[in-house]
């Protein structure tokens, strides 16, 4: 696995109404380790609205306020990442995308070329949805599906989603204490893909459904996705650094 897209959810990056700096540092350390192992990493980071809210408490139920918070939070979040990556001597870049960047081949090629150049220069592109100006129909609305597109069109070997949950269960583990985690998933049932979104937390947007949609998008194309905890990085570390699948759910086509 040479090229990895890592998507981190807003719940992982925030603690109450603050940015969870320790968790962010742990994530940056992991990415730095991957880069030192000669891997290329694209980070898709949520958390702009939450980061904006730490600076200005606007009512985030209103769309214009959310857009304002995202525009305040995005540079703030990037500054935090930039400082943390700088400790490892790694440069970061901001890449803002929206759904229509993947609709037109010409636009996708331009974005691809820019990202290629960044990766070959050892830079970590930090991607987010350009939700400050995009109109609703051009938005994915959640970074899970955006990150699946990023992984596919930018030719990554795997998408890693770091969430507040440590895997995909047979039912919502926050509601059912007897829920069982699935280790490997080869295909996702239509019912699961079309069920109601169940985000967990104030700033979360997608819930498990958008993660399953991201997984389905990649499975159909023969690619793969790994869902693991962003609170405790030990499973993702073993998986990516030591190639040992301890915890977390791997979405991968059944080999013929």
Based on CB atoms, which residue is closest to ligand ADP, 171 or 183? 171
CB of 26 to ligand ADP, least distance (A): 15
How far is it, in rounded angstroms, from Cα 33 to Cα 27?
Answer: 10
* Binding residue (CB under 6 A) for ligand ADP from 1, 3, 39, 201: 201
* Binding residue (CB under 6 A) for ligand ADP from 6, 50, 204, 240: 204
CB of 87 to ligand ADP, least distance (A): 25
For the residues of 148-211, what is the DSSP string, one character each?
A: HHHHHHTT-SEEEEEESSSSEESS-TTT-TT--EESEES---HHHHTSPP---SSS---HHHHH
- Which structure tokens are listed for 118? 């960044």
- Which structure tokens are listed for 93? 């870049």
Per-residue binding string, ligand ADP, 40-79, x by CB under 6 A, is ----------------------------------------
Per-residue binding string, ligand ADP, 217-246, x by CB under 6 A, is ------------------------------
Based on CB atoms, which residue is closest to ligand ADP, 32 or 227? 227
Based on CB atoms, which residue is closest to ligand ADP, 75 or 173? 173
Please tell me whether residue 172 binds ligand ADP under the rule CB under 6 A: yes
How far is it, in rounded angstroms, from Cα 59 to Cα 64?
Answer: 10
Name the nearest CA neighbour of 212 among 231, 195, 232: 195
Based on CB atoms, which residue is closest to ligand ADP, 102 or 169? 169
Burial 20-33 (b: 16+ CB within 10 A, else e): beebbebbbbbbbe
DSSP 35: H
Secondary structure of residue 249 in the 3-state scheme = strand
* Residues at the site binding ligand ADP, with contacts judged by CB under 6 A: 9-12, 163-165, 168-169, 171-174, 198-201, 204, 206-208
């Amino acid at each position: 696995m040479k090229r990895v897209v890592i998507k981190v959810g807003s719940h992982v990056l925030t603690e109450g109404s603050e940015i969870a700096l320790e968790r962010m540092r742990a994530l940056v350390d992991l990415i730095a380790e991957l880069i030192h192992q000669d891997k290329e990493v694209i980070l898709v980071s949520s958390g702009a609205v939450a980061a904006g809210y730490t600076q200005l408490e606007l009512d985030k139920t209103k769309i214009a306020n959310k857009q304002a918070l995202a525009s305040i939070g995005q540079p703030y979040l990037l500054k935090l990442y930039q400082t943390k990556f700088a400790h490892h001597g790694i440069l970061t870049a901001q890449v803002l995308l929206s759904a229509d960047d993947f609709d037109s081949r010409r636009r996708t090629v331009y974005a691809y070329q820019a990202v290629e150049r960044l990766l070959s220069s050892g830079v970590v592109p930090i991607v987010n949805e350009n939700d400050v100006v995009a109109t609703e129909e051009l938005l994915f609305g959640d970074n899970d599906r955006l990150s699946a597109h990023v992984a596919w069109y930018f030719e990554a070997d795997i998408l890693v989603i770091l969430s507040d949950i440590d895997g995909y269960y047979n039912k919502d583990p926050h509601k059912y204490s007897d829920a069982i985690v699935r280790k490997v998933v080869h295909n996702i049932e239509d019912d699961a893909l079309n069920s109601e979104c169940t985000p967990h937390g104030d700033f979360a947007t997608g819930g498990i459904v958008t993660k399953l949609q991201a997984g389905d998008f990649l499975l159909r194309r023969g690619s793969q996705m790994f869902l693991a905890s962003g609170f405790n990085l030990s499973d993702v570390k073993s998986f990516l650094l030591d190639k040992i699948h301890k915890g977390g759910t791997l979405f991968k086509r059944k080999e013929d």
